[in-house]
Amino acid sequence: NNRDMKQSVILYPSAGIGHVIPMAELAKVFINHGFDVTMVIVPPFSGQFKRVAAATPSISFHVLPPDVPPPSMSSRRTSHHLTTSPAPAPASTVTLHAEDPATHLHSLVIDMFCADAIDVAARLGVPVYTFALSSASALAVLTQIPALLATSQTGLKELGDRPLEFLGVPPMPASHLIAELLEHPEEELCKTMASIFRRGMDTRGVLVNTFQSLEIRALQALSDPQCVLGKVLPPIYCVGPLVGNSARDPRARADERHECLRWLDAQPERSVVFLCFGSMGVFSQEQLKEIATGLDMSGHRFLWVVRRPASSIYDPKRFLGQQPKLDLDAVLPEGFLERARGRGLVVRSWAPQVEVLQHPATGSFATHCGWNSMLEGVMAGVPMLCWQLYAEQKMNKVFMTQDMGVGVEMEGYQTGFVKAEVVEGKVGLVITQIFCVFKKKKAGDGI
Ligand code: UDP
């Protein structure tokens, strides 16, 4: 009798630590409800995966052999990679678990890019659910895109910044949609992306890492029969906010806390702007120098996660394997680190973001608008500076600034270059004025 057996769930995120971290948080929910959880890890996985694995020993990780090509060098090939490479692996994983006499495989939870596993699970009679990688608002837009594409002869790129009306979200400039969807509807890239989303919604239910009061209009739209992909959508379940510390090893001793947390301990309350641009965000060297100059000019305290400069997230140089330690003096303006001593801290490549955001000294957050980062910022109650870089982040910026009221936009992102004066001005704005409003609101001033 299945009911008396231990129930297990397979979680199947696509490659990318930004996909693995929220799935690990979801895993904890299942584990707390008595399920066994196996998470399939698709190569290439970043070194950060080791942190997640160490922080969540209750999850069994099934790491796939690295027989798929390394990360693609262009967004075109990335889509191809996402749609094709993970297919064979879940077949064996799902079969293994489905046939395990000790447990009953209750369900498979996939992310949008792993829809190929739906067929495997269907063959074995295992229910499949989708874990949306982003917000309910982004989902609302994506479900309405096919109807829009069907009426477009030319592709949405032609519409430029013209605002598009979608149910449940503020007017959305066409240019802010996911880049692949802006291609001509007959272009393979556009068709592939649209079909990934269509397919990803073809499951028993869609789990969204959000909560009602944050996205009430979008959630209502998703239950509206008009907001469809030409069919009735599956039920949408709000399972958020799943914001945790999946990347923190609970066995780490207090004195092993990251140096940036110890540095924050010595800063005044709510005085530091934290700049961190997701697991993949990169800037050109010129842009890095401009940010540094802006921070210099602002005079405010800052904590900045800096990566090796690159032309884009798909820059081939990023995938050259082991690289020497990043020389900060070589990529930042001369004397910057010296001038910033005491007032600012630069961290190479990765910081414990959730802990930083929840630290009392953190007063604002310059973010690339990845959905996990946004939720983490909202839950920490810090005003955000939106500097969107890739994927659905431009849409997230619109939701953050025009609907949720949790951030302001960093002007210049449209041209691909943000000037030092803008960095200076916006950092000052969020750390002084906007934060005051937050504080008064908290104190019940009724603003
Ligand atoms: N993150 C972190 N430290 C870093 C950079 C990123 O802990 O230095 C975490 C961040 O807290 C979030 C995830 O990585 O949970 C990034 O996810 P998000 O959706 O914001 O962006 P993505 O990296 O997927 O673009």
Distances 34 to 6, 13, 131 between C-alpha atoms, Å: 8, 21, 20
Please check the confidence at residue 127 and state whether its pLDDT lies above 80. yes
Report how far ligand 1's centroid is from the alpha carbon of 153 (Å).
37
Please check the confidence at residue 61 and state whether its pLDDT lies above 60. yes
Report how far ligand 1's centroid is from the alpha carbon of 17 (Å).
7
Look up residue 149 and give its two tokens. Answer: 């594409």
Consecutive H or E run containing 8: strand 6-12
Which of ligand 1's atoms lies nearest the C-alpha of 367?
20
The pLDDT value recorded for residue 300 is 96
Mean pLDDT confidence for 41-60? 83
Which of ligand 1's atoms lies nearest the C-alpha of 133?
19
Mean pLDDT confidence for 54-65? 88
Supply the pTM of this predicted model.
0.90
Mean pLDDT confidence for 421-442? 78
Distances 145 to 141, 177, 180, 258, 295 between C-alpha atoms, Å: 6, 9, 12, 43, 39
The pLDDT value recorded for residue 208 is 97
Mutate to test the pocket of ligand 1, among 48, 52, 178, 279 (most ligand atoms within 8 A of CB): 279
Look up residue 316 and give its two tokens. Answer: 């081939």
Which of ligand 1's atoms lies nearest the C-alpha of 352?
7
The pLDDT value recorded for residue 41 is 86
Kindly report which listed range (31-35, 141-145, 331-335) carries the lowest average pLDDT score. 141-145
Amino acid (1-letter code) at residue 372 = N
Report how far ligand 1's centroid is from the alpha carbon of 372 (Å).
6
The pLDDT value recorded for residue 92 is 72
Report how far ligand 1's centroid is from the alpha carbon of 68 (Å).
24
pLDDT digits (tens, 9 = 90+) for 242-267: 998 766 655 666 667 899 999 999 99
Report how far ligand 1's centroid is from the alpha carbon of 18 (Å).
5
**Between residues 391 and 354, the one the model is more confident about:** 354
Q: Residue 149's pLDDT band (boundaries 50, 70, 90)? A: confident
pLDDT digits (tens, 9 = 90+) for 32-49: 999 999 998 877 666 778
- Torsion angle, CA of 131/195/140/125, rounded to 10 degrees? -40
Please check the confidence at residue 332 and state whether its pLDDT lies above 70. yes
Report how far ligand 1's centroid is from the alpha carbon of 247 (Å).
10
Please check the confidence at residue 22 and state whether its pLDDT lies above 50. yes
Report how far ligand 1's centroid is from the alpha carbon of 274 (Å).
13
- Provide the 3-class DSSP secondary structure of residue 267: coil
Cis peptide bond prior to 241, omega within 30° of 0: yes
Ligand 1 pocket by Cβ (under 6 Å)? 16-18, 21, 247, 276, 278-280, 305, 350-354, 370-373, 376
pLDDT digits (tens, 9 = 90+) for 208-238: 999 999 999 999 999 887 776 666 789 999 9
Which of ligand 1's atoms lies nearest the C-alpha of 18?
24
Which of ligand 1's atoms lies nearest the C-alpha of 357?
11
Please check the confidence at residue 134 and state whether its pLDDT lies above 80. yes
- Asked casually if ipTM beats, i.e. exceeds, 0.90, the reply is yes
Residues 6+ apart with CB under 8 A from 198: 146, 229
Mean pLDDT confidence for 337-341? 95
pLDDT digits (tens, 9 = 90+) for 68-84: 443 333 334 444 444 44
Q: What are phi and psi of 111, to 5 degrees?
A: -95, 170
Closest Cα to atom 4 of ligand 1: 350
Residues 6+ apart with CB under 8 A from 2: 104
Kindly report which listed range (35-39, 175-179, 346-350, 412-416) carries the lowest average pLDDT score. 412-416
Which of ligand 1's atoms lies nearest the C-alpha of 376?
11
Calpha distance 159→182 (Å, rounded): 9
Closest Cα to atom 24 of ligand 1: 18
What is the Cα 15 distance to its own chain's centre?
12
Report how far ligand 1's centroid is from the alpha carbon of 312 (Å).
17
pLDDT, the chain, mean: 85
Residues 6+ apart with CB under 8 A from 155: 182, 183, 184, 185, 187, 190
The pLDDT value recorded for residue 45 is 66
Please check the confidence at residue 119 and state whether its pLDDT lies above 90. no
Consecutive H or E run containing 128: strand 128-131
pLDDT digits (tens, 9 = 90+) for 363-381: 999 999 999 999 999 999 9
